[in-house]
Structure 1
Amino acid sequence: MIKSPFLKRRDKNHNNEKDDVEIKVVTGDRRGAGTDSKVFIILHDSNGRSSPQLRLNNRMTTNCRGQSCTFNRNSGIPDLTNVSRIEFWIEKFGLGAGWFVDRICVKLLSTEKSWVFPVLKWVKPSKEHIVLTVNDCLLPQHTPMDLRAQRMTDLGFKKAIYRFKQNVPHGPAQIENLPSDEKFSEEYYWTFATDKLNLLAQTKFIEWTTSKWNTLDDLKRVYRQSLGEPTCIGVWKEDWWFGLQRLQGVNPNVIRLCKKIPDNFAVTEETVKGFLGEMSLAEALEKNKMFICDLEITDGLVCKEGNYGLASPLALFHLNSENSLLPVAIQLKQKRGPDNPVYTPNDPPNTWLVAKMFYNNVEAQHHQALTHLGYTHLLMEGVVICTHRNLSPSHPLFKLMAPHFLFLLAINTRGLEKLVAPGGWVDNCMTQGVTGIFNLMKRGFDRWRFDREGQVEKELEARGVLDKTILPYYPYRDDAIPLYNVIKKYVTTVVKHHYDTPEKISGDWELRWWREELVKSRDENGVGLQNVPGTADGFTTVEEVIDVVTVIISICSLGHAAANFQQYEQYGFVPNYPGILMLDIPKEKKNYTEEEIMAMLPDKRMTLDIMVITKLLSSRGTKSLGDFEMQYLYDPVGVQAAEEFQKDLKRLSYEMKGRNIDRPWKFDWLDPEIVPNSISV
């Protein structure tokens, strides 16, 4: 912000001279966004001429949540042909002083030419002026010299309010205090706050007590009477469904190709005899027909005191002649021994069922701690903080990524307070509890690599499941790859436009600062991302910048969508994907009765909590990917790239709907119509 030399000039608000400009002011979608302060503006053209200060009527209080006010004024500039920059400020008048401005548009009435000046932030009363150039989209080295101080001051202010904090030692980088710019909009806040009450109201005719369920039929009836039946309710015991969960469930990135049985997995030829068709185990391994899920990351995990123990299972799968993935062996703990049997489909049905339930119980902990909360919500929280601290709102990369950060800090702040806090939902309804979820998160963050887990195809390749000839049916892979590539195409267009020479990368000090803080250790107030492309001196090629921005946008959109929106479908019917089981890890093969299985499940009141919260988490917050709530890019290349992005997404949505016609079980969670722009739930 700078002081204007025109501050003392008379207010040429509206006299008898002919109006030659239209000034439209758009207020953003925030609670209390309007203002009753006095608003002033000065226009500048490319020839260095300036208008006097123009007074805009103080009626912004009617201009709230995306509405606009339009003022016709005489610019006082003879033969005005363009407006290259504006400066504006507000002076305190009434109670509603703060003002969230989305953008200011100036149009010449004579030629209909118009210019956009994005603001996208709260403006407070001050004699300091906010100065903006057309489209406000410049690399720092291209910022006019007289505006660089303002840009640096704005970044300094951002660093003061976007501060890192670690809520747990060596844990993820989180926001110290939620900035006002990051709070939910009025509409979104109200919707989110009332949804849980509405869901609870749908269950009001059911008696929810701390008593246990008597039979599975009793449990199933509840869904028909309240929140609706998850689609798995009729198939959850089937082996083909257990295999399908690995390919298109909420945690589809654990399954990997198995070329050798791990030494600690007590599986032999005899163990799987009869399950591999005409093949021996050795042949099936050689021909890439065996797959494994190994959740050793949970081994010895310290969880909530008093909860039943958490397993650390291995599960072996066979791809049969019909290309169906079927489980053939489950071992619930890592260390082989007489108290750690290998379960197979040859065991009594309920014995095998309990083994699958215990496997799913552990994968549920992995899903919530890592795939969902850790690798999307909290990993990206650090990225959002870092971006605000190091990239000016005028930076093209900030504008490219900002729509995908909408409400992320707000939902994380609320989620940690309500769900991931001592005594909250995770503590009560998951075996790991809050202690376990953060311990597991720390383990996962130490393993996460930007150049592997961050990039969809490389992550699939690392697990040996990228090749369709090896694993023909894998809906997550088949939908995630093309969506990732569409995002990358969009990012490439914008990034290559602004970095069309290597010198523009090396000369961008904000970009260098951004990367430095992305890779800095979390214990040193950084994000702690590992294997980010580039060197200690920054990014070296435009391709590196493209990859980093693509990964970030991808995680905030498709990554979170894949992990989040079918939570009710998986968790809602508790036996299907139990977040908690009321039984110690089995040490022997026991033939369980239905009563014993029901006793393992949460009581009725906890079941209600699981149903309501997972239903709420499965609701969509922001608009569909590419349909941005707030537009940041107004430059012609950015606008054209966004329009092409939207067309590509529509084509991709049509293709995905076609693929779903032939799938045995619908998977539409990565349809661009369903994938939101950001992590807001």
Structure 2
Amino acid sequence: MKADYLIFIKTGDRKGAGTDANIYIALIDKEGKKSRKIFLDCKWRNDFEQGRTDKFPVSNVPDLGEIEFIELSRDTKGFGDSWFCDRVWIIPNQPGVEPTPIYFPVNRWVKADGLLKIQKWDCCLPQNDVASETRKQEILEKRMYYTLDQKSPGIPVQWDIVRTKGILLIKSKMRRLTSDTWSSLKDLGNIYKKGTSLDIPMGMYRWKEDNYFGKQRVQGVNPVLVKLCTEIPSNFKVTNEMVSPFLEGFTLDEALAKKKLFICDLTMLEDVPLMGIPVEKELVNPYALFFLNKENDLSPIAIQLFAKTTEDCPNPVFLPSDHKYVWMLAKMYYNNADSLFHQGSTHLGFTHLIMESVAVAANRTLSMSHPLYRLIAPHFLFLIAINSRALNKLVAPGGWVDQVMTAGAGGMLSITAKRFQSWRLDRDGTLPEELKMRQVDDPEVLPYYPYRDDALPIWYCIKNYVTRFVEGHYENEKAIEDDWELQEFSKALVSPYPNGCNIKGIPGDGKFQTRQQIIDTFTSFVFISSVGHAAANFAQYDEYAFPPNYPSFMRGKAPRNKDPITEADIIKHLPHKAMTLDIMVVGRILSDRGTNALGDFEIDYIFDPIGTAAVKQFREELEKISEENTKRNETRNPPYAYLNPMHIPNSISI
């Protein structure tokens, strides 16, 4: 007998998704005419297994028009009856009907002995949904699972709720081959093996060079701190006499006037508590000054390790003309401070934690049928799971951060909390505005800035994608005003804890009124989840794995004078072998990419015509940007490979 329809059902690829229950479907056309309840079963086959797609030819379903809805149901038979349905698609097999698939994205657990009604494409604003009451109930149920919690005072809120075995195996094997302390810098370098997972990190090749120290500011793991210096801070005791030998004939005032000076200011670290392992250590709160030389490279010309100078704390300004190991140690202490800011603010605080806040707010307020939920959902994938592991394994008391970072987990989280007080989405989380704030948006001012030059094209590509999505679903401002789910989401983002996320700088400040406000907000969310995290995360092995290059931990006290020191003195400040191996192994794991590239979504959420057209154009634009990125890197030394779209994951998955 000829089938009237071919019905395809994909079971979700997640734990417990498959089922032994009996599954039923009913088809409903645009006029409301409904088929019989169809039992879906392929004899001699175990249907509805995890991750599998099953095909069912269906006959004796006459006189239906264009299918608009489906109703899914199941019973409780079998040992495992729970079922997570990924999606359903139906191909008509009838005379005069175009055999085009009709998609019903489900992405839900199907409850026993109930009916789950899904509209074609399942993508509409709540005020236009014919099943609005069911939709409201779904959101209420989700709120029981997505509750807000603040794991440490002052940080972004999170969900309330490994590769570990591989780490331990690697560490235990390597530790049997080593003693505790390094005999020399060469001895340290010998631990890396080309062609292995612990290959030579890029930072090892040029870490002694001032030129490379400057490049770390514009293409390292924390390229979001450097800014144009328009005046020397009053606490920074640098003088013209000190730095004039490094200014290529300019005076200090002339270099300032000609926009030749750039500064990194980490004085906000002054009050960060020292926690973690109880050894003699010190976290500095430095300034670093850079000169834009004739080769358009940033050359470090002065480092002051503490914001304040007192009688009890001599605080010299270190210079490139100082004894080579003294200058080397000053740069290492600066980078140690930079690493704490990188992990506490740039990485953990304002990719992982801020986006978990957004994810929880979205799940508490937006139905899965909402177009904007379908837009943002691919960028939440794995986020909550990896954050839970990070807080339980890495940032927990006694965990990895306590063991290998100068300020420990408590100190790092205090940086997150301090930065959260001033962080704003419309400034710090909006790339063009953030670059403008630091006055490094103009290539005429700072010609060589790989992070900016690679990130900006993707920012505008994401913005174009979001714009097409938003303008396609919101015809006017009335549609925005009537969208109660969107307005609840906006309110949740800005409301203080425990009722909301307390995020500052959300356009509309709790009430979206224009399409542009929605576009700006969701562009930032997609960018932070993908590009922002890639920039902060994937250079970790290259930067951290060779401790002299970018030390996460320093032993002893920072230098208070310029008396000559030796290589042996440098070694005394570095992590011992066991700690170095910890840094190497975890740095390698954190730098791995285990998910699809931006725009190539692991789970398909978008099937409606507006969304699919937007995704198609998004992918085409990303492909062009990838080609341009590859060409730029052919002339860079070293290359900056972290922000090629083909290497950027959709979400924060590691």
- TM bucket (normalised to shorter chain) is over 0.9
Does the CA-based 8 Å contact 2:236-2:307 persist in structure 1?
A: yes
Residue 273 of structure 1 and its aligned partner are, at CA, apart by 2.1
CA-CA distance at 1:96 after TM superposition: 1.7
Summarize deviations over 1:126-158 as a string: whole Å, max 9, x none. 2221110000001000001xx111101100001
- Listed one character per residue, the Cα deviations across residues 177-230 of structure 1 (whole Å, up to 9, x for unaligned) are 2xxxxxxxxxxx7xx4665367558x6486144x11111111111002761101
Alpha carbons 2:171, 2:582 under 8 Å: kept:
no
Alpha-carbon deviation of 1:506?
0.7
The aligned counterpart of 1:637 is 610
Q: Which amino acid aligns with 2:189?
A: K
Letter matched to residue 94 of structure 1? G
Per the TM alignment, residue 593 of structure 1 is displaced from its structure 2 partner at its CA by 1.2
Tell me which residue corresponds to 1:7: none
Letter matched to residue 39 of structure 1: I
Q: Which residue of 1 aligns with 2:443?
A: 468
| 1:83 and 2:52 aligned | no
The question of whether the paired residues in 2 share the 8 Å contact of 1:35 and 1:61 is answered with: no
The CA deviation at 1:20 is 0.8
Q: Which amino acid aligns with 2:443?
A: K
Q: Are residue 74 (structure 1) and residue 59 (structure 2) matched?
A: yes
Q: Which residue of 2 aligns with 1:262?
A: 233
- Structure 2 residue matching 1:41: 3-state secondary structure: strand
Q: Of residues 96, 107, 122 in structure 1, which corresponds to 2:109?
A: 122
Deviation at 1:621, TM superposition (A): 2.3
Which residue, out of 505, 527, 531, partners 2:505? 531
- What's 2:202 paired with? 231
Distance in 2 of aligned mates of 1:61 and 1:605: 50
Could you tell me whether the CA contact under 8 Å between 2:244 and 2:250 is conserved in 1?
A: no
Contact 2:40 2:56 in 1 (8 A): yes
* Contact 2:148–2:498 (Cα < 8 Å) also in 1: no
**Structure 1 residue 241: Cα displacement:** 0.5
Matches within 5 A, 1:338-349: 339-349=314-324
Residue pair 1:568, 1:611 contacting (<8 A) in 2 also: yes
Residues 610/170 of structure 1: CA separation in 2 closer, same or farther (3 Å cut): same
SS in 1 for 2:554: coil
Q: Which aligned pairs between 1:430-469 and structure 2 lie closer than 5 A?
A: 430-469=405-444
Contact kept, 8 Å, 1:310 with 1:362, in 2: the verdict is: yes
- How far apart are the structure 2 equivalents of 1:492 and 1:678? 20
Alpha-carbon distance between aligned partners in 1 of 2:334 and 2:451, rounded to the nearest angstrom: 21
Does structure 2 retain, via aligned residues, the 8 Å contact 1:293–1:314?
yes
CA deviations 1:470-508 (Å, max 9, x no partner) are 100000000111010001111100110001211110110
Once the two structures are superposed, residues 364-393 of structure 1 have per-residue CA deviations (whole angstroms, 9 ceiling, x without a partner) of 000000100100000000000000000100
Residue of structure 2 in register with 1:600 after alignment? 573
Secondary structure of 1:317's match? strand
Residue of structure 2 aligned with 1:140, choices 102, 106, 126: 126
**Aligned equivalent of 1:167, options 147, 151, 159:** 151
1:491-570 to 2 correspondences below 5 Å = 491-521=466-496, 523-536=497-510, 538-570=511-543
Over the matched positions of the two proteins, sequence identity in percent amounts to: 43
Post-superposition offset of 1:113: 3.4
CA distance in 2, matches of 1:86, 1:483: 38
Out of 177, 187, 194, the position equivalent to 1:218 is 187
The answer for the alignment partner of 2:270 in structure 1 is 299
In structure 2, the residue matched to 1:104 is 88
CA contact (8 A) 1:266 1:336 kept: no
Letter in structure 1 aligned against 2:503: L
Answer whether contact 1:206 1:222 (CA < 8 A) is retained.
no
The reply to whether residue 579 of structure 1 matches residue 552 of structure 2 is yes
2:288 is matched with 315
- Do residues 486 (structure 1) and 461 (structure 2) align? yes
**What is the CA-CA distance between 1:94 and the residue it aligns to?**
1.6
Partner of 1:103: helix, strand, or coil?
strand
Q: Which residue of 2 aligns with 1:12?
A: none
Instruction: Work out the CA distance in 2 between the residues paired with 1:168 and 1:517.
Output: 20
- Equivalent-residue separation in structure 2 for 1:542 and 1:550 (angstroms): 12
2:298 to 309, 315, 325: 325
Which one of 30, 33, 40 corresponds to residue 56 of structure 1? 40
Name the amino acid aligned to 2:255: A
Deviation at 1:422, TM superposition (A): 0.6
Indicate conservation of the 8 Å contact 1:328/1:345, yes or no: yes
Using the TM superposition, name which of 399-408 and 599-608 deviates more: 599-608
Q: Name the SS of the counterpart of 1:212 in structure 2.
A: coil
Question: 1:572-615: per-residue Cα shift (whole Å, max 9, x none)?
Answer: 11110000011122222232211111111111111110000000
Counterpart-to-counterpart distance in 2, 1:82 and 1:270:
82
Per-residue deviation at 1:33?
1.9
Distance 1:390 1:218 in 2: 56
1:350 counterpart letter in structure 2: Y
Write the letter of the residue equivalent to 2:352: H
Indicate which of 214, 223, 241 corresponds to 1:252: 223
TM-score norm. by structure 1 comes to: 0.92
The separation in 1 between residues aligned to 2:520 and 2:617, in whole angstroms, is 19
- Find the residue that maps to 2:558 and give its secondary structure: coil
**Partner SS for 1:483:** helix
SS at match of 1:224: coil
Cα distance in 1 for partners of 2:449, 2:636 equals: 10
- 56-65 vs 602-611, which deviates more? 56-65
Corresponding letter in the other structure for 2:186? D
Give 1:8-23 correspondences, 5 Å limit.
18-23=2-7
> How much has 1:337 moved relative to structure 2?
4.1
Structure 2 CA distance for aligned equivalents of residues 435 and 48 of structure 1: 59
Amino acid at match of 2:362: T
Are residues 624 and 85 of structure 1, via their aligned partners in 2, closer, same or farther at CA, if it must alter by over 3 Å?
same
Any conservation in 2 of the 1:27–1:66 contact (CA below 8 Å)? yes
One-letter code of the match for 2:338?
A: E
- For these two proteins, the number of residue pairs brought into alignment is 644
Report deviation, 1:75: 5.0
- CA offset at residue 443 of structure 1? 0.5
Q: Cα gap change, 1:74/1:294 in structure 2, threshold over 3 Å: closer, same or farther?
A: same
**Residue among 327, 347, 363 paired with 1:352:** 327
State how 1:186-225 maps to structure 2 within 5 Å: 192=163, 196=167, 199-200=170-171, 204=174, 207-209=177-179, 211-224=180-193
The C-alpha deviation readout for 1:148-180, integer Å capped at 9, x for no partner, is: 111011000011110011111232201012xxx
8 Å contact kept, 2:31–2:65: no
Query: Could you tell me which amino acid in structure 2 is paired with residue 218 of structure 1?
Result: D
Structure 2 unpaired stretches of 5+: none
Shift in Å, 1:22 = 1.3
Q: Note the C-alpha offset of 1:42.
A: 1.1
State how far apart, in whole Å, the 2-side matches of 1:99 and 1:36 are.
8
